[in-house]
Amino acid sequence: MADLKCKIAGIESINPFWLASAPPTDKKLNVVRAFEAGWGGVVWKTMGYDPPVINVTSRYGALHDSNRGVIGINNIELITDRPLEVNLQEIREVREEWPDRVIIGSMMAPMMEKLWKDLAVKIAEAGVHGIELNLGCPHGMCERGMGSAIGQVPEMVENATRWVREAVDIPVFTKLTPNITDILLPAEAAKAGGADAVSLINTVNSIAGVDLDIMAPLPSVDGKGTHGGYCGAAVKPIALHMVGDIARNPDTRNLEISAIGGIGNWRDAAEFIALGASGVQVCTAAMLYGFRIVEDMIDGLSRFMDEKGYKAISDFQGLAVPNTVDWNDLNMNFDLKAEINKDLCIECGRCHIACEDTSHQAITKKAKADGGMEYEVVNDDCVGCNLCLHVCPVLDCITMKPVDNGLPHLTWPEHPENPIRVAKKEK
């Protein structure tokens, strides 16, 4: 089986699976259980200056699918609510007991150089492999001028990164908030400040739901609610986009990326690595199922790599980056048509009604002689949008077949109907 040993910002890890700074990494007991389960590293829950914060009850809201599957969680918990020295002492102990595992210390402080530097040094002295700057917490801490209040201002991101970079000689991870318009601005700032890596995404600003009986946002604290940080499978597409943007941006492409956002299994992890990440951080999936999920992450990723012939993570890291392009670089002459496998079709009619009501009226419905229904794609009307494929409940029943139209690669800037077209590039 492929070896998952890897290097993330120069730190050697037995596998790319770390636990993100969050409740699962709040204390020694949890971290030891995680290491026993097989996690390669943890980012210790964010530490700040004493006195420790005080949390409220309740703390989590969730978006469920109709069958109680959790699509996403949002939380309004703050950073560690234990004294700094308790955390540092436990870090020292775990470092000694688990020498082959990575511990990154997450920290935050108000925007003053001395405060960032002093705390970074204290944490570094506890023996951590690296420091992660929490510039993303979108609830509570930002109201105190920390977390996303810093992460949303590129100059502050650069400064905080530089201060810590100057104070310690271990790798610095700048953790970015997605609650901005363009992830490249804070990413470039982190790079300018000397970050070895960026960690992203932190949680997305959100309200998990509204309790319609008490008319208050969820989670509710004594009848009132506030926005919290959204995480879990629902945010994965947002995270993939931001990771991909940093990986393909010329100014940031050399930054290492510790990817975070809805990673729940080996496949999610492989996708982030393919988009350029060196390693991944996980939280929500562990909170839903426990640390044991790492077993299949390790097993599944190794088998995937064996199957594809990748000997190391670095063999496929970033392979999807060159294929992540601007819309203007897409081939407008590429054509697909949906094809329904009538042997597999169970006649639920979902493809028909989706196409009929909301797309291109390209799937017809005909009564069959035996009483059932027959659904058929009208090729002339099918635009190859994939909607039918996504609503079909039967795997492999609808496939998208490329049309061999013999037309050359053609982008919008080159397109004859584009009023501001450019001359077609010669290959």
Partner 1 sequence: MSERLIVSRDGSPLEDSQIDANFSDMHPPLNKTQAKVESSRCLYCFDAPCIRACPTSIDIPKFIHQIRTQNLTGSAITILSSNIMGGTCARVCPTEILCEGECVLNATGEKPIKIGNLQRYAVDQYLEGNNPHPFNRAKSTGRRIAVIGAGPAGLACAHRSAVQGNKVTVFENKAKPGGLNEYGLAAYKMADDFARKEVDFLLKVGGITIKHGQVLGENLTLANLQSEYDAVFIGTGLGDVNNLRVEGEHLNGVQDAVTFIEELRQTAEKHNISVADNVVVIGGGNTAIDAAVQAKRLGAQNVTLVYRRGTDQMPATEWEQDLVKTNNVNVIYWSKPIVLKGGEKVEEVTFERCILKDGILTGTGNFFNLRADLVLKAIGQMLDKNPLAGLSIENRKIRVDEKYQTNLQGVFAGGDCINSGEDLTVQAVEDGRKAAESMHDYLENKNG
Q: Which residues bind partner 1 (CB under 8 A)?
A: 65-68, 346-350, 352-353, 365, 371-373, 393-394
Sign of CA dihedral 201, 131, 101, 85: negative
Choose between 31 and 234: whose C-beta lies nearer to partner 1.
234
What stretches of 138-233 adopt beta strand conformation (E)?
A: 172-175, 197-200, 204-206, 209-211, 216-218, 220-221, 224-225, 228-231
How far is Cα 57 from Cα 396, in angstroms, rounded to an integer?
Answer: 46
The amino acid present at 89, given as its one-letter code, is: Q
Choose between 149 and 351: whose C-beta lies nearer to partner 1.
351
Minimum distance from CB of 370 to partner 1 (Å)? 11
Minimum distance from CB of 388 to partner 1 (Å)? 12
Minimum distance from CB of 351 to partner 1 (Å)? 9
3-state secondary structure of 256: strand
Minimum distance from CB of 393 to partner 1 (Å)? 5
Structure tokens at 247: 């990986």
Determine the distance from the C-alpha atom of residue 362 to the mean position of all C-alpha atoms in its chain, rounded to a whole number. 35
Strand-pair category, 228-231 with 172-175: unpaired
Q: Nearest-CA neighbor of 130 among 156, 107, 100?
A: 107
Minimum distance from CB of 69 to partner 1 (Å)? 9
How far is Cα 286 from Cα 378, in angstroms, rounded to an integer?
Answer: 45
> In which element (H, E) is residue 34 found?
helix 28-37
Choose between 50 and 347: whose C-beta lies nearer to partner 1.
347
Choose between 145 and 372: whose C-beta lies nearer to partner 1.
372
388 is catalytic: no
Residue in 6, 137, 142, 382 annotated catalytic? 137
Choose between 184 and 354: whose C-beta lies nearer to partner 1.
354
Determine the distance from the C-alpha atom of residue 376 to the mean position of all C-alpha atoms in its chain, rounded to a whole number. 38
Query: Which sequence positions are flagged as catalytic?
Result: 137
